[in-house]
Amino acid sequence: MKQLLTMALRDLGRNRRRSLFSALALGIGLALLLLMAGVVNGEMEGALNSAITLQSGHLQVRSKTYTEDKTSLAFEDLVENPGDLAARIGQLPPVAVVTPRLFASGIAAVGDRSVGLRIVGIDPASPANDPFRKGLVGAFLAPDDREGVLIGQTLADKIALKTGDSLTLLVNTSNGDVDQQAFVIRGVFNTNTPGFDENTVLMPLAKAQAITRADNHASILFILLKDKEQTGAVAAALTSNQYDVKTWLQLNDVAVQTEQLANGFMYVLYLIVLAITATVIVNTLVMAVFERTREIGVLSAIGMRSSRIMTMFLVESGFLTIGGIVIGLVLGGLMVLWATVFGFHIGNIGATGLLISDTIHAHLTLSDTVMLTALTLIISLIASLYPATLASRMEPVEALHGGRG
Amino acid sequence: MEVVKVENVTRTYKVGNTETQALRGVSLTIENGEFTALVGPSGSGKTTLLQLIGCLDQPTSGHVTINGKDVSTLNRNQRADMRRASIGFVFQFFALIPTLTAYENIEMPLLLAGVNGTERRNRVMELLDIVDLKDHAHHRPDQLSGGQQQRVAIVRALASKPALLLADEPTANLDTPNGKVVMETMVRLNKATGVTFVFATHDPRVISYARRVVTLRDGLIADGQVTPGA
Ligand SMILES: Nc1ncnc2c1ncn2[C@@H]1O[C@H](COP(=O)(O)OP(=O)(O)O)[C@@H](O)[C@H]1O
Ligand SMILES: [Mg+2]
C-alpha cells in the first residue's frame, strides 16, 4: 500500500501543471459551492430573522378569530387587557420579551398622493422595539405621546418627508369608520429591510388604541424567547381555549417554504458545479491512463492484479481530490469570510412576502461545509471510477502493445 | 523435468474483419534449466508464443502447461497470480516504471508477493549486486543507460524466484557492447540460479548464446532445429 501511495504521488508529480490545474478546478468548484451555500443560507436566515424580530416574534398569542390579512379591529378578534396577559406570560422563564401590539391599516395623504400603510401600536418601553431604535434618526416615541409617529426610512424617502415634518394619517377604526389626524414624525427608523420600512408607521399603543377605538385591546402579544428551540414547549404551555398561539414557523410559512425551495435549487446547482469539476478530474485521469498504457501492461505482466491497478488510480485521484479540497476550503473560506464581513448590497429588490435585507451577509454553517466537502470527495471519487476501471480492464497484451514503438 | 509444454497451440488475432493467424499449431516442450532462443523473422509469431507461455494471453486452441498446470483456461486474476509466482518478463523496451528507482522497481514484484521488509531489502540488494548496480540503487530509470535499465529489468524479473524467465528481444534496443553484457548476464544467471530462460530474437549475434534454438516461420515451428554449442 505504501508503494501505491508513493507511486500515486510521484505519478501526479510527472505532470505537475496538469495535476495542479485539476486540483485547482476542483478547489474553485468547491469554493464556489461554499460561497453559494453561505450566501443563500445567510440570506434565508437573514430574511427569517428579520421576519421574526420585526413582525412575527417567536410566538404570538391572539384571539381565535384573528386573521392576519384583514387587520380586523372588531373586539372579538382582539386580545382584551393585553397588559395583564403579557405580565403573566412574562413570568415564564424561557420568555425574553412579551409586548402587546395593535395593527391597523391606514393611508398617508401626501400632497395629492396617498400611500397605503400598516400602523403598528407599540409599547415604547419594550425591548422588542430595539430593531427600530438601532438605526433611528430623531427621537423614539414616549408612551404618552399623542401626536408623534415613527416612519421607516424607505417610506420617508418615498414620500420625501423627514424628522420633524408633519404627516396626515387616515386610520380605520373598530366601528368601521375612518379617523384622520395630523401627526409629527418624531423619527425615521431603518431596519435595512426595505419591504418593512416602506409601509410601517409606529405609534404608542395608547394612541393607536385611542384613534382606532380599540380601547384596551391589542391585536397580538408579540413574544421573543431566549432560545428559538424552546418555541414548541412554550407554545404548548400557552395553549388555552381562550387564545390562539402561533409559532414563528406557522407565521413565516412563506419564508420557510422559500428556504426549502431554495435548498432544493441549491442541490441542483451543487450537482452541476460538481459535475463540471468531476469532468476535469476524469479528463486528467483518462489522459494519465492512456499515457501510461505500457506501464499498466508492465505492472500487469509482473503479476499486479486488476483490482490493484484500479486502486492505484483511485489513490491518485484521491490525492488530487484532497489537494483540490484543501485549495477549495482555503479559497472558499476566504471568499465566505469576505461575504460574511462585508456582504453584498442588493438594495430594495421589491420582494413581497419576504423581508429581505438590503445587504446580504453570508453565513456558512459547519454542517454545510462538511456536507459540501463530503459531496465533493464522493463525487470526485465516483467519477474517477471510470478511468480507474479503464486502466484495470486493459488486457496486458494490448497494454504492452499499445505503448510500444 | 519439463517446465513448459505447448500442445497444438493456435492463436488468431481478429482486428475488425481481418483475421491473422499468428500461430498455426505449435507444439513445444521446454525442460527445466534450458537457455533457449526462439528465432524467426519478424512476424513469425515469437512474441505471440512468449505471451502465451507467459500467461499474458490465451490460445485460440490448444493447451499451454506450466509446471504441470494447464494455464490455457485460467481467468484474469489466476493468470496474474501465475505470472507473479512463476514467470519473469524482460521486454524489448526497458520496461521499468519511470517513477520508481532501480531499487523500488526490483522491490515491486516482492511487494506484490508479500515478502516481508528485511528479507525484501536483502533480496533487492543481492539482486542489484548480481548486476553490479548497487551504486545505482536509488537512481530513476532516466538516470540509467539502456544497458543498465535492461539489467535492472532482468533481475526484477528474477526477484520473486520464478520458474521461468521470458525475454522478448531483450537486446534489440541496445548497442553491441551493451547487448553483450545483457546476454552474458542472462547466461550467468541461468547457470547460477537454474532458472529456465527463453528469449526471442532475430539478431544472429545473440542466437549464438543459446544452448537450444527453436525456429518459428509463419506461425509454425520450422524443421531442422539447430542446437549450437551443445
Ligand atoms: N495484438 C495483435 N493484433 C493483431 N495482430 C497481431 C497482434 N500481435 C501480433 N499480431 C500479428 O501476428 C503475427 C505474429 O506477430 P508476432 O507474434 O508479434 O511476431 P514476431 O514477434 O515474431 O515479430 C504478425 O502478423 C502480427 O502482425
Ligand atoms: Mg516480436
For B148-158, the pLDDT digits (tens) are 999 999 999 99
Residue A188 lies in a domain: yes
Q: Please report the number of interchain residue pairs, chain A to chain B, with beta-carbon separation below 8 angstroms.
A: 76
Whether ligand 1 lies within 6 angstroms of the CB of B47 is answered as yes
| CATH code, domain with B117 | 3.40.50.300
The label of the residue with cell 545505482 reads B136
Nearest to B84 among A10, A302, A307 (CB): A302
Give the pLDDT of residue B225.
53
Beta bridge partners of A189: A152
Q: Residue A306: closest CA among chain B residues belongs to which residue?
A: B77
Q: Which residue of A has its CA nearest to B160?
A: A302
pLDDT of residue B223: 64
C-alpha cell at A184: 409629527
Residue A120 lies in a domain: yes
Are residues A118 and A18 part of one domain?
no
- Cross-chain residue pair B109–A3, CB shorter than 8 Å: no
CA distances, A374 to each of A321, A381, B80 (Å):
11, 11, 35
According to DSSP H, which parts of chain B are helical? 46-53, 76-86, 102-112, 117-130, 146-158, 176-193, 204-207
Most confident of A163-167, B113-117, B223-227: A163-167
Mean pLDDT across B26-46: 92
At residue A109 the predicted structure's pLDDT band, cuts being 50, 70 and 90, is confident
Cβ separation B109–A404 shorter than 8 A: no
Closest in B54, B76, B109 to A306, CB measured: B76
CA distance A260 to chain B (A): 50
- Cα–Cα distance for residue pair A86/A101, rounded to 1 Å: 11
Query: Is the C-beta atom of A146 inside 6 A of ligand 1?
Result: no
**A22-69 pLDDT per residue, tens:** 899 999 999 999 999 999 888 888 888 888 999 899 999 999 888 877
**Mean pLDDT score of chain B, rounded to an integer?**
89
pLDDT in tens, A172-211: 988 888 999 999 999 999 998 888 999 999 999 999 999 9
- CB neighbours of A5 closer than 8 A, spacing ≥ 6? A315
User: From CA A162, how far away is CA A147, in angstroms rounded?
Assistant: 15
- Backbone dihedral angles phi then psi of residue B194, each to the nearest 5 degrees: 75, 5
Q: Tell me the C-alpha to C-alpha distance, in Å, between residue A375 and each of A29, A35, A142, A274, A381.
A: 12, 15, 55, 8, 10
Say yes or no for a CB contact (<8 Å) between A294 and B95: yes
Largest Cα–Cα separation, chain B: 53
Based on the fold, state whether residues A349 and A298 are members of the same structural domain: yes
DSSP symbol at B97 = -
B123, B159 Cβ separation under 8 angstroms: yes
> How many angstroms separate the alpha carbon of residue A156 from the centre of ligand 2?
91
Same domain as A175, residue A85: yes
**Of A9, A293, A295, A302, which to mutate for an interface test with B (greatest number of B Cβ within 10 Å)?**
A302
Range A104-114 average pLDDT: 87
Residue A157: name the closest of A2, A333, A358 by CA.
A358
Question: Chain B residue closest to A304 (CA)?
Answer: B80
For the Cβ of B46 lying below 6 angstroms from any atom of ligand 1, the answer is yes
Lowest mean pLDDT among A71-80, A155-164, B102-111: A71-80
Residues A150 and A389: their CA atoms lie apart, in Å, by 70
- The Cα–Cα gap between A212 and B88 comes to 100
The band of A9, judged by pLDDT with boundaries at 50, 70 and 90, is confident
Kindly state whether residues A211 and A272 are assigned to the same domain: no
**Does residue B208 have a pLDDT over 60?**
yes
- Give pLDDT, residue A351: 62
Helix or strand or coil: residue A147? coil
SS3 A218: strand
Q: Which of A26, A39, A30 is nearest to A336 (CA)?
A: A39
- Ligand 1 centre from B88 Cα, in Å? 21
- What is the rounded average pLDDT of the residues B180-207? 90
Q: Is B172 on the interface with A (CB under 8 A)?
A: no
Cβ-defined contact of B97 to A400 (cutoff 8 Å): no
Q: A117 with A225, same domain?
A: yes
> A124 and A259 in one domain?
no
The interface predicted TM-score of the complex, written ipTM, equals 0.90
CA-wise closest residue to A373 among A260, A272, A264, A274: A274
Tell me whether residues B91 and A295 touch, CB distance under 8 A. Answer: no
Q: Is B48 in the pocket of ligand 1 (CB under 6 A)?
A: yes
Alpha-carbon gap, residue A324 to A381, rounded angstroms: 12
Task: Name every chain B residue with its beta carbon within 8 A of the beta carbon of A301.
Answer: 54, 56, 83, 89, 91, 95
d(CA A396, CA A26): 32
- The answer to whether residue A249 is domain-embedded is no
Which residue's CA is the nearest one to ligand 1's atom 12?
B22
User: Cα separations (Å) of B24 from A94, A385, B45?
Assistant: 92, 40, 9
Q: Would residue A123 count as lying in a domain? A: yes
For residue A149, name the pLDDT band (cuts at 50, 70, 90): very high
Look at residue A402 and tell me whether its pLDDT is greater than 70: no
Mean pLDDT estimate for chain A: 89
What total of structural domains would you count in chain B?
1
What's the pLDDT at A7? 80
Contact A176, A216 (CB under 8 A): no
Q: Is B206 in the pocket of ligand 1 (CB under 6 A)?
A: no
Mean pLDDT along residues A276-287: 88
What confidence score (pLDDT) does residue A404 get? 39
Q: Note whether A148 and A207 are same-domain residues.
A: yes
B102: containing domain: 2-226
Q: What per-residue confidence (pLDDT) applies to A288?
A: 87
Q: Which three cell numbers stand for residue A275?
A: 459535475
CB contact under 8 A, A299 and B97: yes
Task: Tell me, yes or no, whether A58 lies in a domain.
Answer: no
Look at residue A118 and tell me whether its pLDDT is greater than 90. yes
Percent of chain B with pLDDT over 90: 61
pLDDT reported for residue A121:
95
Length of chain A as a residue count = 405
Question: According to the model, what pLDDT value does residue A151 have?
Answer: 95
Are residues A20 and A42 located together in one domain of the fold? yes
In this structure, the residue with its CA closest to atom 3 of ligand 1 is: B13
DSSP-derived letter for residue A184 is E
Ligand 1 centre to CA of B13 (Å) is: 8
Residues in chain B closer than 8 A to A11 (CB atoms): 99
pLDDT attached to residue B196: 94
Ligand 1 close to Cβ of residue B169 (< 6 A): no
Beta pairing partners, A360: A344
Q: Do A294 and B83 touch (CB under 8 A)?
A: no
For residue B103, which of A6, A8, A15 has the smallest C-alpha distance? A6
Interacting residues of A297 by C-beta distance below 8 A, sequence separation 6+: A394, A396, A397, A398, A399, A400, A401, A402, A403
Residue B230 has pLDDT above 60, yes or no: no
Query: Which letter does DSSP use for residue B92 in this model?
Result: S
User: Does residue B94 sit at the A interface (CB-CB below 8 Å)?
Assistant: no
Amino acid B228: pLDDT: 45
pLDDT digits (tens, 9 = 90+) for A333-358: 999 999 988 888 877 766 666 677 77
Q: How far is CA B216 from its chain centroid?
A: 17
Residue type, B77: N
Q: In whole angstroms, what is the distance from residue A352 CA to residue A368 CA? A: 28
CB B180 within 8 A of CB B152: no
Q: Closest-CA residue in chain A for B168?
A: A400
pTM of the model: 0.78
- Residues of A with CB below 8 A from B20's CB? none
Check residue A202 and give its pLDDT. 96
The answer, yes or no, to whether residue B175 has pLDDT greater than 50, is yes
Same domain, A98 and A42: no
Chain A residues with CB under 8 Å of B89 CB are 298, 301-302
Identify the band that residue A405 occupies on the pLDDT scale cut at 50, 70 and 90: very low
Task: Say whether A4 sits in a helix, a strand or coil.
Answer: helix
User: Span A119-136, mean pLDDT?
Assistant: 93
Domain contains A83: yes
CA of B219 to the centre of ligand 2 (A): 12
For residue A167, the cross-strand partners are A183
Give yes or no for residue B42 CB within 6 A of ligand 1: yes
Q: Which of B47, B91, B93, B215 to mutate to test the pocket of ligand 1 (most atoms within 8 A of CB)?
A: B47
Q: Is the pLDDT of residue A403 over 80?
A: no
Return the residue whose CA atom lies nearest to atom 25 of ligand 1. Answer: B43
Percentage with pLDDT > 90 across chain A? 51
Residue B212 has φ and ψ, to the nearest 5°, of -140, 140
pLDDT for position A223: 95
A266 lies in the same domain as A164: no
**A266 in a structural domain:** yes
Same domain, residue pair A147 and A279: no
Cα A346 from Cα A344, distance rounded (Å): 6
| Closest ligand by atom to A402 CA | 1
**Tally of domains in chain A:** 2
Q: Are A79 and A149 within one domain? A: yes
Residue A81 is part of which domain span? 65-241
B54 contacts A302? CB cut-off 8 A:
no
